[in-house]
Structure 1
Amino acid sequence: MSPDDPQHAPATPEAGEHLPTAFTTIEQELTVFVRRARGFSAQMSREFHPDLEPGAYAMLLWLDDVGSARMTEMASYFGIGKPTVSRQLQLMEKLDLITREVDENDRRAQRLTLTENGAALVHRARGARRESFRVKFGDWPAEDVDRLAELLTRLNESLSKPNSQ
């Protein structure tokens, strides 16, 4: 492919006119989607517990998915610093949402897990969120919902790959 190929054009305002319409639409719609997702996450976080920040809610969901993790794994997964994670974890621990236990593989480290209370609250919140999706997509054909789920999975897989030039 040549440097003049639109797929390899630099991301400049001039290059924007060479992008296919689909990529322009994807960029615009993802921007709206991210903005709405942040608002939705903030709302879910407040409903979960008024003292939690949206990032803490996401951390609880992730812990529910992985079962247990070290703080460093959590910081790496979310791409945030240890002090930010530590501050969130202190509040979650105070609210009886998580517990810290000595990591059996490295006695210097701690593993984080949801408490029984934390797991129950996360499962209740997830159920409410899924019900909200069921209502919002209620007029969609089941095949479209299945396809969206498949495409979102592919999108996240693609976005997790490092950029290649």
Structure 2
Amino acid sequence: MVTGPAENLERELAVLLRRSRAISRETARSVHPELEPEAYSLLVRLDDVGSARPSDLAAFFGIGKPTLSRQVQLLERLGFLERAADPDDGRAVLLTLSPTGLEQVHAARQARRQRLHDRLASWDDADMAQLADLLARFNASII
């Protein structure tokens, strides 16, 4: 069977996505044994933006409010999230990482970065920069 660049790319992306899901599960479980990758993603997003309304998080991830609500409840029960009234709209709620959540997310993100660094130790900076540029270009094309 003859394959071309598009078929090779599709195959490699499939492998990357499978491995990425496995790494995400491992990373989430390193934060807490009950944590699913989707809930870990919420923690990462809050670490990136500081605080957010639940509706904004649901829109960002493309998930329904009931799904988000279940994940938020778990994260609150585990002590990783805090709720506060939105100062711009008293009817709305803002979610932020608790000190424990912040500590756990930072530790998990650092460990994940270190694993990536270790795996790419033999790569030169130009190759890493090229891959990052190509991935950014690809990601921008699928929005």
Output the TM-score relative to the length of structure 2. Answer: 0.94
Identify the residue that residue 129 of structure 2 maps to in structure 1: 146
User: Equivalent residue of 1:100, what SS?
Assistant: strand
Q: Do structure 1's residue 102 and structure 2's residue 81 form an aligned pair?
A: no
Of 119, 125, 143 in structure 2, the residue corresponding to residue 136 of structure 1 is 119
Matches within 5 A, 1:82-101: 82-101=65-84
CA displacement, residues 96-118 of structure 1 (integer Å, 9 cap, x when unaligned):
11111111122111011111111
Q: Which shows bigger deviation, 46-55 or 23-32?
A: 23-32
Q: Name the larger-Rg structure.
A: 1
Give ranges in structure 1 of 5+ residues lacking alignment.
1-16, 161-165
Distance 1:158 1:105 in 2: 34
CA displacement, residues 27-74 of structure 1 (integer Å, 9 cap, x when unaligned):
111111111111110111111110111100111011111111111111
Q: Which has the higher contact order (CA 8 A, sep 6+)?
A: 2
Identify the residue that residue 113 of structure 1 maps to in structure 2: 96
Matches within 5 A, 1:1-165: 21-160=4-143
- Shift in Å, 1:76: 0.8
Give ranges in structure 2 of 5+ residues lacking alignment.
none
Distance 2:103 2:140 in 1: 29
Q: Which amino acid aligns with 1:46?
A: R
Q: Which amino acid aligns with 1:120?
A: E
Output the TM-score relative to the length of structure 1. Answer: 0.82
Q: Kindly report structure 1 stretches of 4+ aligned residues shifted beyond 2 Å.
A: none
Q: Which shows bigger deviation, 90-99 or 20-29?
A: 20-29
Distance 1:78 1:24 in 2: 28
